[in-house]
């Protein structure tokens, strides 16, 4: 199917999802008829009139829609992966909901900026708990308070300010807020916090039940005293004598037979795959044990002249765009971090959007399935691929994708990753890991571009595995495992 036909196919999957997922991530019964009514392809946001109350009401409606959508999206992964009877055949619907939610989020940010321009409020972006949220405060005559906003010219008449006056000229004038702010505050942090507390209570209840079964010797492996053996085996400690506790990320550790892998890194406009966009993808291949394939080009020019291709081959970098509304708002944080200014990445400027480019998704999926892929903090890439790459979720569930993560390699097997007050689990950023493993000079820093970061990650991984093999540690230690290792779904 081409163009937007996949949205109709996604809605056709609603009966499958409704049968398997009656409630969302917050325990609310899902109104699937409401989902069916949404125009996912052309937008679910509200376009307000220019009056203050219309802007207020439109923002309130969009926040409510986003909360409903995101609570559904947040539950889809669990429902899909635990659908052992395979009642749900496709992950199209969550991808379509995420597609619509990204545009809805752009609409929300546009209205937030429009309200600033009309002096209805001031916006500050604040990190609270698990989220960065937009906090609305009464306008006090100051200019836009957020560095990554303020580039969009949507202003009409500036309510409360005389024509032609600038914010600086009116800095001593207090403009009364003409709309209520209490009912249009971003509730993301409160929602995520409540959700996390519910999940914690559920995990505690499950552990208590498992412990009760273990004490009765009715569970699986138990110790002579009747207590369950947590994790089955302890992780192998690093050379400092520090023994990190087993962690769920350990499932992503490589095995001692790992060889050909693809390293990948993505750059995005934010941290939420249901709100933000992929703008840069870089990947390359490297063999951890065997020789570099013959016939591959001997050199590759990275952005950093001090990077040497070495054993890497098949390098590729892909640039993607954002919708015009997102480009108009700008993103100073991402521009500073990566050097990518989204104001020049609009689809109107000729850049294709990754979530609108089936051929790019298919090409990436083909590479992700042909050998294990490696990422640093791979759950980040995995979450984005689930909601952006057609066929990825299905391939992962079918066991055709294997993921290796260099973050737990650093945490579990790197002698330099010792706990400190600043880093309770050790400094396991890609920058720190690459420097400890000789993949990045101490005078330079991680570039935050997909291909360059993929390269230093693979070089560090290869150096690290060679050292561990020589020492009989890591995959070659008592808790190491044969085979490729990594995380992949097994058939149930």
- Give the residues across from 346 on adjacent strands: 322
What mean pLDDT comes out for the span 273-277?
A: 98
Q: What is the pLDDT of residue 442?
A: 80
Compute the distance between CA of residue 103 and CA of residue 323 in angstroms, rounded to an integer.
8
**DSSP single-letter state for residue 151:** -
Q: What is the pLDDT of residue 303?
A: 80
Phi, psi at residue 228, to the nearest 5°?
A: -65, 145
Is 292 strand, coil or helix? Answer: coil
What distances in angstroms separate CA 344 from CA 149, 319, 389, one per listed residue?
A: 15, 12, 24
List pLDDT tens digits, range 197-248: 988 888 888 788 877 777 776 655 544 444 444 444 444 455 445 667 778 8
Question: How far does CA 101 lie from the centroid of its chain?
Answer: 15
Compute the distance between CA of residue 436 and CA of residue 356 in angstroms, rounded to an integer.
39
Is 145 strand, coil or helix? Answer: coil
Q: In what order do the strands lie in the sheet with 373-375?
A: 313-319, 278-287, 260-268, 373-375, 403-405
Is 375 strand, coil or helix? Answer: strand
pLDDT higher at 284 or 309: 284
Q: What is the pLDDT of residue 201?
A: 86
Q: What is the pLDDT of residue 147?
A: 46
Task: Report the sign of the C-alpha dihedral through residues 18, 22, 23, 25, in that order.
Answer: negative
Compute the distance between CA of residue 470 and CA of residue 117 in angstroms, rounded to an integer.
63
Q: What is the pLDDT of residue 219?
A: 54
Q: What is the pLDDT of residue 134?
A: 95
DSSP 55-121: HHHHHHHHHHHHHHHHHHHHHHHHHHHT-TT-----SHHHHHHHHHHHHHHHHHHHHHHHHHHTTS-
Question: Could you count the other beta carbons within 10 Å of the beta carbon of residue 375?
Answer: 26
Q: Is 2 exposed, middle or buried (0-12, 13-18, 19+ CB in 10 A)?
A: exposed
Question: Which helix (H) or strand (E) element contains residue 161?
Answer: none
Q: 46-80 in b/e burial notation, b at 16+ Cβ within 10 A?
A: bebeeebeebbbbbbebbebbbbbbbbbbbbbebb
Compute the distance between CA of residue 457 and CA of residue 406 in angstroms, rounded to an integer.
7
Structure tokens at 348: 């109107």
**CB neighbours of 21 closer than 8 A, spacing ≥ 6?**
30, 75, 76, 79
List pLDDT tens digits, range 371-404: 999 999 999 999 999 999 999 999 999 999 999 9
Q: What is the pLDDT of residue 392?
A: 98
Supply the pTM of this predicted model: 0.86
List the one residue out of 33, 35, 32 whose CA is nearest residue 22: 32
Contact 462, 238 (CB under 8 A): no
List pLDDT tens digits, range 134-169: 999 999 875 544 444 433 333 333 333 333 333 333
Phi, psi at residue 438, to the nearest 5°?
A: 75, 20
Q: What is the pLDDT of residue 334?
A: 94
């Amino acid at each position: 199917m081409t163009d937007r036909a996949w949205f109709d196919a996604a809605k056709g999957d609603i009966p499958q999802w409704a049968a398997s997922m009656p409630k969302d991530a917050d325990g609310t019964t899902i109104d699937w008829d409401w989902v069916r009514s949404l125009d996912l392809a052309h937008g679910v946001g509200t376009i307000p009139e220019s009056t203050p109350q219309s802007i207020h009401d439109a923002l309130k409606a969009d926040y409510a829609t986003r909360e409903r959508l995101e609570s559904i999206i947040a539950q889809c992964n669990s429902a899909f992966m635990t659908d052992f009877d395979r009642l749900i055949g496709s992950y199209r619907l969550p991808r379509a909901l995420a597609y619509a939610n990204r545009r809805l989020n752009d609409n929300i940010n546009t209205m937030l900026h429009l309200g600033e321009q009309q002096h209805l409020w001031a916006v500050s972006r604040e990190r609270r708990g698990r989220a960065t949220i937009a906090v609305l405060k009464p306008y006090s005559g100051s200019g836009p308070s957020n560095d990554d906003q303020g580039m969009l010219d949507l202003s009409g008449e500036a309510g409360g300010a005389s024509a032609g006056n600038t914010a600086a000229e009116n800095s001593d004038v207090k403009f009364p807020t003409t709309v209520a702010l209490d009912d249009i505050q971003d509730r993301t942090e409160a929602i995520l916090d409540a959700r996390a507390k519910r999940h914690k209570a559920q995990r505690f209840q499950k552990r208590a039940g498992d412990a009760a079964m273990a004490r009765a010797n009715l569970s699986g492996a138990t110790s002579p005293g009747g207590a369950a053996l947590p994790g089955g085996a302890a992780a192998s400690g690093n050379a400092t004598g520090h023994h990190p506790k087993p962690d769920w990320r350990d499932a992503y550790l490589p095995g001692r037979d790992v060889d050909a892998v693809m390293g990948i890194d993505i750059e995005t406009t934010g941290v939420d795959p249901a709100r933000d966009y992929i703008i840069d993808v870089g990947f390359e291949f490297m063999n951890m044990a065997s020789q570099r394939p013959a016939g591959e080009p001997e050199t590759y020019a990275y952005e950093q002249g001090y990077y040497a291709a070495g054993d890497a081959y098949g390098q590729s970098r892909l640039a993607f765009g954002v919708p015009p509304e997102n480009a108009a708002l700008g993103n100073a944080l991402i521009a500073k971090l990566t050097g990518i200014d989204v104001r020049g990445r609009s689809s109107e400027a000729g850049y294709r959007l990754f979530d609108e480019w089936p051929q790019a998704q298919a090409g990436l999926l083909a590479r992700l399935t042909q050998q294990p892929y490696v990422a640093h903090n791979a759950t980040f890439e995995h979450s984005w691929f689930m909601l952006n790459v057609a066929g990825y979720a299905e391939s992962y569930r079918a066991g055709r994708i294997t993921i290796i993560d260099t973050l737990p390699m650093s945490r579990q097997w790197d002698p330099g990753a010792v706990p400190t007050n600043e880093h309770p689990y050790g400094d396991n950023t890609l920058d720190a890991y690459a420097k400890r493993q000789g993949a990045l000079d101490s005078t330079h820093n991680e570039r935050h571009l997909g291909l360059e970061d993929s390269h230093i990650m693979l070089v560090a991984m290869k150096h690290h595995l060679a050292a561990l093999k020589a020492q009989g540690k890591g995959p070659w230690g008592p808790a190491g495992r044969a085979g490729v290792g990594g995380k992949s779904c097994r058939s149930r």
